[in-house]
Amino acid sequence: MGHSLREIAPIRTSLHDGTELLLRPIRADDRERVKQSYQWLSEESRMNRFWEKPRELSDAWAARLVSDDGGKHLCWVALNPNDFDFPGYGGGSLWVDDNQESAEISFTVGDPWQRCGMATLFYSVLYWEGWNMGIRRLYGYSRIGNDAMVSWWEGIGGSVRKTQRQYELSLNLESPDRFISRVSYNLASGARQVEIAEWLRDWEEKLSG
C-alpha cells in the first residue's frame, strides 16, 4: 500500500453515527480555528491532552499545533463539511523522532464527540500516513486516571506500562495490508481493530479509485 492521503484531501466521510466529516491536514492558517476548538474541551479533557487546563489555549501552543516543525509534525483535523465557520471536531498528530522510525501520537477530540469513533478514525489516518513515511513504532503518554485512553490503546493492540506519574503507551506497527489481512481472518480481533481495518480499506479504495 502506498500513496499519501494528502493527495486526495480534503476527504469527505462520516462516522458510524452519521456525523459527516471533512478530513484534511492542518494548515498554518488554522491557528485561530485550533484556539476556538479548544473551547469545546472540558477541564478534564484539557488536562488529558495538554497536562494543564488554562481557559484559553496559548498562542505558543496553537502555533506549535499548526506547524509542521520541519516535516516532523503531521496533523490531520476533522471539520464540518456543511459549516466552514465551525472550528472543528478535533485532530490527531504524529511527532516524528529524529530516527524517522518512531513517533509520538496524540489526539484531541471535543467532549461532545468523544466515544463516537473519532480517535479511531484519526488513528487510521495517522497509521496509513505514518507507515508510508517510514514510521514503525508509535508511543504516547497518558495521565494516571485516564482509563478511557488506556482501554482504547489496548483495544487497538498497544501495550501500556504504568509508572508513578503516567501511563507509557507503545505500539509496534505492521504494514496496513498485513493488518487488514490479519484482522479479517482472526475471529478474536477486537471491535476497535476491526474498525481500523475498515477505515484502512476505505483509504485504499479512495486512493485506487
For 81-138, the pLDDT digits (tens) are 999 889 999 999 999 999 999 999 999 898 888 889 999 999 999 999 999 999 999 9
- Residues β-bridged to residue 162: 167
What range defines the domain where residue 79 resides?
5-208
- pTM over cut 0.85: yes
Helices of type H across 17-81? 31-37, 43-50, 59-66
- 3-state SS assignment for residue 84: coil
**How many domains does one find in the chain?**
1
Cell 469513533 identifies what position?
117
List the one residue out of 9, 44, 15 whose CA is nearest residue 113: 15
- Tens-digit pLDDT profile for residues 143-172: 998 899 999 999 999 999 999 889 999 999
List the CATH number of the domain containing 129. 3.40.630.30
pLDDT at 72: 93
Cβ-based neighbour number of residue 168 at 10 Å: 14
Mean pLDDT of the chain: 92
